[in-house]
Amino acid sequence: MKVGLLCENYFPRLGGEQEHLFNLRRLLEHPRDGASPIDVRIITPRVTSEAWHGPRDDAHVLRPARSVRVHGLGSASEATLAPSAFFSLRALFARERFDLLHIHAPCDIGLPIWALMAFEGPTVGTIHSYFTHAPVRTWAAPLYRWVLGRLTRVIAVSETARETMARYAKFECRIIGNGVDTAAFASGHPLPAFADGLRNVLSLGRLEPRNGTDLVIDAFALVARERDDVRLLLAGEGPHRHWYEAQAAQLPPSIAKRIVFLGPVWDGRPDLYASAHCFALGARKTSFSILLLEALAAGLRVAAMPGEGTGGAGAHWALTEMAASVSAADYAAALQRALAPATPHYVERARTAARQHDWSVVVPMIRAVYDEALQVAG
C-alpha cells in the first residue's frame, strides 16, 4: 500500500501536527507489530523560514507548492493559497499513484482543499483542532460540509475536535487520539545545567497567546515571590517571544533571573522533561495536547488551565492539577500543587495513562481506518 500524508503544517516549524505526521510515517513504514510496511510520502508546502528545526527532509517529503504564514486568533499557521497548487498536486498524484490520501486538518484553507479537488481515490481526514465559533465560521460552513462529505473516512483526535466541526456539518467519525513514544519520554536523563538544587517548572510549546505563556510567567512570578527554590524553563519559539522576554524583564531581578528562555527544542525533549519537577501547561484552548501526554509519560505532575475544549480533550486531562479559573492567581495555586513531589503511585498512573496513547496502540487503529476506506472505495 502507498499512502500520502498531507498537511499544511510540518517542519521546519515545530508543533503537534508536525510531531504526529513524523511519527505516524515512521511507524507505518517500520511497524513494530508485525504488520506489513506501508510506503509513505509526506506532502506539505515549502515555507519561508530563517532557521530549520526538527528533522531534515528526505526524498519522501514532497513540497509541491509554497505557503504563506497566517496569523490570527492567538496562533499562526501555514496556508497554501495560490491556485497553481492544484495543478502541482494533480501532477504529483499522477506520478505517485497513492492508494489512499490521509489529510490532516482537512478543513484548513489551502493545501487540503486543493488536494481534495485534485485527488481521485479514497481519503481519510483527521480533525486536530479546536476553535471557538465566530461569524466567519458560519460563512465557511458550506465548505466544511463539502470537505467532510468528500472524505471517505473521518478521524478526530478527541470529542472536543469532533464537536468543533459538528457545529457546522453532520458526519461520522472515529475518535483516535494523538500518539506518543512513551518509552522515549520515560527514559530521559536530567541535564547537569539544571541539576543545581532548584525545582524546575517546565513550559514547552510555541510562544504565543493561545498557549498562555503570559499567564505562565505571571503565575510563576507569584510562586517565586514566596519560594526562592523554583525556576521556570520556557522551551519554544514563536513570533511573540519578544513580548514574553519583555514581560519577564519587568519582574524583580531576583525573579527574572530564574526565568530561562531555552529557544526551540526538538530531539532533546526527553532530557528536558527529566530535568523538570513539574510541567506548566498554560493553553487557553486545546483539542488534545500531545505535550500533556509527553509530560505524563515522563512521570511529571502537570498544572493546567481550564481553557476552552479541555472538557472533551481526553481522559488524560483528569490527571492534571487544574486551576480554578484562567487567572494568574489560580494558576499559581495549581503550580504550587504540581510542585509537590510526585509519588511512585502518581508516576505509575501518569505513565499508564500515557501508554493508552502509545504509538503501538494508535497506529493499528489508524491502519484499520485505512482498510475501511479502501474497502468502501472498492
User: Residue 56 gets which letter from DSSP?
Assistant: P
Residue 118, pLDDT score: 98
**What is the amino acid identity at position 114?**
W
Cβ–Cβ < 8 Å for 74, 207? no
CATH number of domain containing 232: 3.40.50.2000
* Residue tagged 500515557 (cell numbers): 354
Query: Model confidence over 271-310: pLDDT tens digits?
Result: 999 999 999 999 998 999 999 999 999 999 999 999 888 9
Q: Taking residues 85-110, what's their average pLDDT? A: 97
Contacting residues for 288 by C-beta, under 8 A, at least 6 apart: 16, 128, 157, 158, 160, 161, 177, 178, 313, 314
How far apart CA 98 and CA 1 sit, in angstroms, is: 8
Domain shared by 189 and 173, yes or no: no
Cβ–Cβ < 8 Å for 298, 270? yes
- Looking at the structure of the chain, the number of domains it has is 2
pTM for the complete prediction?
0.94
- Residue 28's CB is within 10 A of a number of other CB atoms, namely 22
Domain shared by 373 and 256, yes or no: no
User: Residue 57 gets which letter from DSSP?
Assistant: P
Instruction: Reply yes or no on whether the pLDDT at 90 is more than 90.
Output: yes
Domain shared by 241 and 367, yes or no: no
Instruction: Reply yes or no on whether the pLDDT at 73 is more than 60.
Output: no
How far apart CA 82 and CA 79 sit, in angstroms, is: 9
Instruction: Reply yes or no on whether the pLDDT at 314 is more than 60.
Output: yes
Domain shared by 247 and 173, yes or no: no
The percent of residues above 70 in pLDDT, for the chain, comes to 98
Domain shared by 138 and 11, yes or no: yes
Selected residue with higher pLDDT from 75 and 236: 236
Contacting residues for 318 by C-beta, under 8 A, at least 6 apart: none
Domain shared by 37 and 126, yes or no: yes
Domain shared by 129 and 243, yes or no: no
CA of 344: how far to CAs of 188, 250, 341, 350, 354, in Å?
17, 39, 10, 10, 15
Instruction: Reply yes or no on whether the pLDDT at 74 is more than 60.
Output: no
Cβ–Cβ < 8 Å for 250, 211? no
Domain shared by 349 and 365, yes or no: no
Domain shared by 222 and 142, yes or no: no
Domain shared by 167 and 196, yes or no: no
Instruction: Reply yes or no on whether the pLDDT at 172 is more than 80.
Output: yes
Side-chain-side CA neighbours of residue 51 (13 Å) = 8
How far apart CA 287 and CA 332 sit, in angstroms, is: 23
Cβ–Cβ < 8 Å for 110, 158? no
Q: Which domain holds residue 122?
A: 2-179+358-377
Domain shared by 8 and 120, yes or no: yes
How far apart CA 26 and CA 29 sit, in angstroms, is: 5
Q: Are strands 75-79 and 68-72 parallel, antiparallel or unpaired?
A: antiparallel
Mean pLDDT of the chain, nearest integer: 94
Domain shared by 123 and 110, yes or no: yes
Cβ–Cβ < 8 Å for 150, 377? no
Band of residue 201 on the pLDDT scale cut at 50, 70, 90: very high
